[in-house]
Structure 1
Amino acid sequence: MLRITQLKLTIDQPIEALREVIRKKLNCDSDDFTYTIYKESIDARQRGNDFIFSYTADVEIKDEQRYLKHKNPDIQLCVKNAYQLPAHGYLYLKQRPVIIGFGPAGIFAGLLLAQAGFKPLILERGEAVDERVRSVEKFWQSGILNEASNVQFGEGGAGTFSDGKLTSRSKDLRSHKVLEEFVRFGAPKEILYQAHPHIGTDLLRGIVKQMREEIRSLGGEVRFNTTVDEIIVSKGAVKAVRCGDELIDCETVLLACGHSARDTYQMLIDKQIAMEAKAFAVGVRIEHPQALINQAQYKQYANHPRLKAAEYRLAMTTSKGRGVYTFCMCPGGNVVASTSLAEHVVTNGMSYHARDGVNANSALLVQVSPDDFGHSLDAGIKFQEQLEKDAFIAGGSNYQAPVQRVEDFLKHQPTQKIGSVQPSYPCGVKGIDFHTLLPAFICESLAEGICAFDRKLKGFAMDDAIMTGVETRSSAPLRILRDKDSCVSLNTEGLYPCGEGAGFAGGIISAAIDGLRCAEKIIEKYDPEELK
């Protein structure tokens, strides 16, 4: 197979024109070849402000050596490395592996273990996705919260109510395995090569159901509405998990609980499982008109049919050395109510596949560390909870979210009237001054970041842009320590901390990769044929 780079299409050329571009690059008279797109990117740096689509393609053609003789650096021989299921080990496993949590890490760990014949038992505190959607919509409409099944908990994890971004900087071969599995279960094929692939919350809901059914078809079991209250440890090793009055014997637990399972964190702290406090970030969601973002990023090509809703990713360091950045940017999306605790307000963002909403939103976050909130294991959790409680009160104690126009925020004055940007938060909003809610160092950093980002992306500091708070769940406040090679807890044999909740991931792809990584370690150690 040949891998050909630097294949260019103008913004007005359809993707079907790529075949002719490949033919000319090969200097080939024949049209007798097949190709698949390996990578797509947009290059706006060439020919003034023109947009050029740049592709890398893998081509199968007869007499490959003929085309390599020209020594064109854009044409190279390519051998594709496909993901391989690891060979199983030989140790006896008395009980099937237990997975706690059915977000991206738990799903992909469960899928791989099922494919390897281990018939995992998956325990998820939330509901199956269809019931979960109904619970979430009920909360958004009536303020009645299901603390076990919400935007944070339930089938698919927090990623189910998100933009469904699949961007990862990892070159890990597992990354392509994750994308291929998503496509196999119904995601668009384009995610395999796009520079910024996404699925959208509407498509993700169907995909996770299909994954669940394959796990079950391979002998695995998925139990919803099942909270793990305790991991039983004896003599430094896992012995069982307790769910209410039920005790489930096990010797292998893959813990993929997610970053909002605060009761689980407390249980682990009480059991003295090896953990450490870690830095994370807090802030607000910021909304702009999507048309403004399109204009800023695409200029004269804004609204061109070949271009999708524009994105951005911004970062800076303040004059005091603190990091400020945007995160989980949702083109054409909505700000959503994402609390998992009664009388708390938490925000997040999501987009549907079409990304055709009026507003763009993104988390606007400030880095915080144990030096800010304390070094005890529960200090970061308490810091998050206090901000969420204060936001609930500031919003009117009815799950409305506090909001502020950017102009008002920069002038330290409460917002009395919403301007041209209408907040998309579903439970209603109340104008405040965030300087009365957030710590001073957070507000100072946000203000400096907004002004800096406006210099990078024209209009970011527009007067009527809306800030909605608070965003506190960007990543876990703790890391559950594990051995680098075996992925096993440093002081608890049989416990595999995994994914975002364990502090080893930060998004759908990275969490899924970590789920695969931990599942591989179980496969490599044990023989599934020995299971009862």
Structure 2
Amino acid sequence: MRIAVIGSGTSAIGFLYHLLKTHPEYEVDIFERGLEPARRAAEGESILYGFGGAGTFSDGKLSLSPQIGGEVADYIGYESFKKYLPECLELWTLGFDRKALERSDLSEGPRVWDIKRAFNENRMDLTLGEFIHVGTDNLATVIQRLYSLLSSHKSFHFHFSTPIKDYSHADTAVIDETGRSYGPYDQVILAVGRSGSVLLNRILELSGADFTSNTVDLGVRFEMPAILTDEITQILYEFKVSYITAQDDKVRTFCVNPRGYVVREDGSDFSLVNGHSYTHQKSDLTNFAILVTHKFTEPFKDSFEYASSIARLANKLAGSGKILVQRYKDFKALRRSTNSKMQKSFVVPSLKGATPGDLNLILPRRTAADIEEFIEQLSRVIPGANNPDNLLYGIEAKFYSTKPDFDQWFRIKGAPIRIIGDASGYSRGIVQATISGIALAETIGL
């Protein structure tokens, strides 16, 4: 069998890692618009593209719960999810002692349930799940080891700096941006992540496949003293909390980084804010995303453009390639933070070079009101969450990929095309994306 894999991120790695065990004889061409691991840098498009994908520079948080990070378990079945989970953990901790890595501790039953009760008493839902934290620094090492393993296999052929722009149904071939055609292939696997939405939507339209894509999460990265969150993060590592506002909007926390750092994440034409945490480098601050879910109805269909246009506006106000930062006190008062105000702040930004400004000039009114309501509610459980000197960075957005209508195991109806990982719409994190790839590798030859 001859296979084309477009993208070499998390789900593609899971697919190739398992295929190496089950069908090492299959010929596989892997097309990647970015670079190999040693040449990637945490800036520009290299943050999103290259071997390892967008997860390369993440904090390496592995969620072991099928309820966190997607709906892959709903699609492949919970028994299959549990079956593939050990291999997923083996892959992402390659060469490390898993027991020595940071993890959530749900064994402390009474303390865990006391925390959950405190959130529930304040109309906030805490999702409990076990996590293993690899760390941004260790993750880079794992990805280099995985690349060395996979690239050395004689049947796996990597094509870096080769963006695929089109697909030919007649020839079952893929076409790069220069017009060169590769193929034919027995199977074409799209593992392009959420950043590959343009190619994904084009192929879906050419295939006549039904799909939905009308949701985006938009908000800020929030930063506060770690000493105020330690009581929770030392047990759970992170708190995944959701809340329904007075406007009936869903607000949630995402990607909690205890004693971590706020970072800039550059895309092709806009920059977003994100957070990292390292195993061997700690700050005195904890950061996490506060995201408001936006679901659109007809006739509007482009949730990606909605959020990206807001991000571009934020970048213009902050200055080229920069992120806006604002004190919570100023955010509530609808006034701009300035350099002089920031110098008086008790909380010193971990993201150096962020531009003081006013996020109220960018965020939709309803979104800003939801974020303020959430912070005030959170302060009832975590005293000090509404401290005037706590910081908001913007913009942070989480894009939901299209969710195609599959006929079997991630396959588009009537076409030899499979879609895995975040591009499938079924995963939103490292573990579930990887398991989608492993599951496909297990069944693709059947």
Indicate which of 376, 382, 390 corresponds to 1:465: 390
* Aligned with 1:186 (options 96, 100, 120): 96
CA distance in 1, matches of 2:409, 2:322: 45
- Answer whether contact 2:94 2:145 (CA < 8 A) is retained: no
Q: Does 1:325 align with 2:246?
A: no
Deviations 1:143-178 (A, max 9, x none): xx3x4xx22111211111111000131262211210
Q: 1:66 maps to what in 2?
A: none
Question: Which secondary structure does the structure 2 equivalent of 1:501 belong to?
Answer: helix
Whether the 8 Å contact between 1:505 and 1:511 is mirrored in structure 2 is: yes
Cα distance in 1 between the residues matched to 2:199 and 2:97:
32
- Structure 1 unaligned segments of length 5 or more: list them: 1-92, 140-144, 299-306, 526-532
Structure 1 residue 177 corresponds to structure 2 residue 76: no
Structure 1 residue 255 corresponds to structure 2 residue 208: no
DSSP-derived class of the 1:271 partner:
helix
1:107 aligns with 2:17: no
* 1-structure distance, mates of 2:435, 2:216: 21
Deviation, 1:354, is 3.1
Q: Which amino acid aligns with 2:313?
A: D
Is 2:406 aligned against 1:482? yes
Q: Is the 8 A contact 2:252 2:292 kept in 1?
A: yes
Shift of 1:98: 1.2
AA aligned opposite 1:153: Y
Q: Cα distance, 1:476 vs. partner?
A: 2.2
Measured in 2, the distance between the counterparts of 1:479 and 1:441 equals 27
Q: CA deviation at 1:375?
A: 4.7
1:334 aligns with 2:232: no
Distance of 1:278 and 1:185 partners within structure 2: 40
Q: State the alpha-carbon separation in 2 of the partners of residues 481 and 278 from structure 1.
A: 15
Work out the number of aligned pairs and report it. 397
1:230 matched to 2:157: no
Retained in 1: the 8 A contact 2:226–2:258?
yes
Q: CA deviation at 1:120?
A: 2.2
Q: Which residue matches 1:292?
A: 228
Deviation readout 1:63-122 (Å, 9 max, x if unpaired)? xxxxxxxxxxxxxxxxxxxxxxxxxxxxxx3xx211111111011111112222224221
Q: Does 1:162 align with 2:58?
A: yes
Give how far 1:279 is off.
Answer: 2.0
2:297 is aligned with 1:391: no
Report the identity percentage: 25
TM value normalised by structure 2:
0.83
RMSD: 2.3
Unpaired segments of 5 or more residues in structure 2?
A: 67-77, 105-129
Higher helix share: 2
| Bigger relative contact order, structure 1 or 2 (CA pairs below 8 A, ≥6 apart) | 2
User: Is 2:122 the counterpart of 1:196?
Assistant: no
Cα distance between partner residues in 2 of 1:423 and 1:499: 33
**Shift in Å, 1:384:** 1.9
For 2:401 and 2:362, the matched residues in 1 are separated by 20
Separation of aligned partners in 2, 1:160 and 1:422: 27
SS in 1 for 2:174: strand
CA distance in 1, matches of 2:288, 2:102: 24
**C-alpha displacement of 1:382:** 1.2
What displacement does 1:215 show? 1.8
Matches for 1:303-322 after TM superposition, within 5 Å: 310-322=237-249
Q: Which amino acid aligns with 2:158?
A: V
Checking the alignment, whether the CA contact within 8 Å between 1:278 and 1:369 is kept in structure 2 is: yes
> TM-score, with normalisation over the residues of structure 1?
0.70
Q: Which residue of 2 aligns with 1:370?
A: 296
Structure 2 residue 363 is matched with structure 1 residue 438: yes
SS in 1 for 2:240: coil
Per-residue Cα deviation, 1:15-48 (whole angstroms, up to 9, x for no partner): xxxxxxxxxxxxxxxxxxxxxxxxxxxxxxxxxx
Deviates more, 1:178-187 or 1:107-116: 178-187
Name the aligned partner's letter for residue 125 of structure 1.
R
AA aligned to 1:242 is I
How far is the alpha carbon of 1:239 from its aligned partner?
Answer: 0.4
Cα distance in 2 between the residues matched to 1:490 and 1:187: 42
Aligned to 1:497: 419
CA distance in 2, matches of 1:388, 1:266: 21
Q: Which runs of 4+ in 1 moved over 6 A?
A: none
1:9-158 map, 5 Å: 93=1, 96-115=2-21, 116-117=23-24, 118-133=26-41, 136=42, 139=43, 145=44, 147=45, 150-158=46-54
Partner AA of 1:413 in structure 2:
R
- The structure that has the greater radius of gyration is 1
Measure how far apart 1:355 and its partner are.
5.5
Going from structure 1 to structure 2, the CA distance change for 1:126 and 1:364 (only over 3 Å counts) comes to same
Aligned to 2:180: 246
Separation in structure 1 between the aligned mates of residue 168 and residue 410 of structure 2, nearest angstrom: 19
Please, which moves more after superposition, 97-106 or 162-171?
Answer: 162-171
What are the within-5 Å matches in structure 2 for residues 342-421 of structure 1? 342=269, 344-354=270-280, 356-371=282-297, 375-377=299-301, 379-396=302-319, 398-416=320-338, 417-418=341-342, 419-421=345-347
Measure how far apart 1:466 and its partner are. 0.8
Distance 1:182 1:389 in 2: 33
Q: Per-residue CA shift, 1:242-279, capped at 9, x if unaligned?
A: 12232111131111101112432453365255222142
Deviates more, 1:308-317 or 1:443-452: 308-317
2:328/2:392 contact within 8 Å kept:
yes
- The alignment partner of 2:232 has SS state of helix
Q: Which of 264, 283, 292 lines up with 2:199 in the alignment?
A: 264
